[in-house]
Amino acid sequence: MGELTRREVDQLLIGYRFDFRSNQLQPEFEPNPQAGKEYRFRAYRPAGRGGPAVAMADVQAVMTEAQASEATRE
């Protein structure tokens, strides 16, 4: 059906820090020792099942949608 590739990110999310005074949640990151490593996957569908092409979501589109959703909640 399709081939997908996932690449390891440069930074790993390792935790969060919460400041009660400012009511802010801050993510904490550290370098990813596997940064840049690629994993390849093959996507399949059951025989006889049609549908749209398989693809990974565009990161920028996902981030834009998440930020818009967050803005409407504030």
| 12 strand-pairing partners | 30
Average pLDDT over residues 19-33: 95
The contacts of residue 41 (CB under 8 Å, 6+ apart) are: 3, 4, 5, 6
C-alpha span between 39 and 22 (Å, rounded): 40
Residue-level pLDDT at 39? 94
- Range with lowest mean pLDDT among 37-41, 47-51, 60-64: 47-51
Residue-level pLDDT at 24? 93
Average pLDDT over residues 40-67: 82
Q: Are residues 30 and 12 in contact, defined by beta-carbon separation less than 8 angstroms?
A: yes
DSSP summary character for residue 9: -
Residue-level pLDDT at 22? 93
pTM: 0.53
- Range with lowest mean pLDDT among 22-31, 33-42, 48-57: 48-57
